[in-house]
Structure 1
């Protein structure tokens, strides 16, 4: 009977350990191949995010088409890129990486953001930022709905904002690319707040 209990205990310990091993080997939330530094060789971007935690961005230069070696160190890391839930990772043309995230994700209070990342003069930059919002608040008179959005191209300086159902209007001010390592929601223009 003791041998049976020892075997059962070993089996249970092994069973409990399996999810931890499986979790450690789980694939990233998003992974994309692109030529972000525009040198003619494929690079790789990876975003990981635990449930309810900030998203982390890893960029590996010159990875080619081979499977990424788990021991390889990334060429660029940006921890806590966004607090919101990442929805998509895509390339927008040559050398552009777009990361879309949301808060509320379609609920009565929600926002969606897309950050476009480029590589210029040896550094990763935020080359574009857009944000839209649909915010419903209970008031004593019913529900107050706030709609709007902003779109900033930091590379060209062109930017627009729209509030409620009005058409887009240019945002006053000058906009230059922001180093990705220095980006935070505090860096977005006030026009993108509601």
Structure 2
């Protein structure tokens, strides 16, 4: 129930946040934030055609993206899932939320937290929620729900399955350079 309400709220947010960017004809999300914490606003732009992977562009020290200016950082194919939202978090971090299924019988929602540390864009955190229903041959439905929350900056994480309270995940986690990130690098605790 909690997950479905969350999906509905994010769907409304997406409808309000979609704006064209960079003079292109693709749907985009834009967000101004001070990601490198230098006192000057930066801009994050996500471009995604229907059914295509999402690309992330980061422009440092710019109030408004200029179509002729090259971005300071580009991550192609950040995710193949549909982007729902961009959000500025504390200490200059950027949260990018995407979904697969988006509230359907089989759905997941992922949030990637991006930070800028020591001159490099890093994955500072990763959260995942899932609500997965499998129809079995005997006519029953097997439901798997759960979530994980990994903080690469503190090295800690927690995960829960079947609506139990989250439990600490064994191991320690280190920030991953964003240029090297892929969803195959997510911790095992975030698989179901």
Q: TM-score, normalised by structure 1?
A: 0.85
1:34 maps to 2:33: yes
SS at match of 1:94: helix
Higher relative contact order (CA 8 A, sep 6+): 2
Paired residues for 1:1-194 under 5 Å: 25-26=24-25, 28-63=27-62, 65=63, 67-139=64-136, 140-194=138-192
SS at match of 2:172: coil
Please, which runs of 5 or more residues in structure 2 have no aligned partner?
1-22
1:163 CA drift (Å): 0.5
How many residues are matched? Answer: 169
Contact 1:150–1:192 (8 Å) recurs in 2: yes
1:186 CA drift (Å): 1.1
RMSD (Å), alpha carbons: 1.1
Question: How far, CA to CA, are the matches of 1:57 and 1:71 in structure 2?
Answer: 17
* CA offset digits 1:47-68 (Å, max 9, x no partner): 00000000000000000x3x32
Contact 2:98–2:111 (8 Å) recurs in 1: yes
Q: Flag the structure with larger Rg.
A: 1
1:40 CA drift (Å): 0.4
Contact 1:100–1:112 (8 Å) recurs in 2: yes
1:134 CA drift (Å): 0.1
1:182 CA drift (Å): 0.4
* CA offset digits 1:20-79 (Å, max 9, x no partner): xxxx7336510000000000001000000000000000000000x3x3211000000000
Please, which runs of 5 or more residues in structure 1 have no aligned partner?
1-23
Residues 141 and 27 of structure 1: CA distance in aligned 2, closer, same or farther (over 3 Å):
closer
Q: TM-score, normalised by structure 2?
A: 0.85
1:175 CA drift (Å): 0.3
The list of structure 1 runs, each at least 4 consecutive aligned residues, that deviate by more than 2 angstroms after superposition, is 24-28
Contact 1:28–1:46 (8 Å) recurs in 2: no
* CA offset digits 1:167-192 (Å, max 9, x no partner): 11000011000000000111100110
1:165 CA drift (Å): 1.9
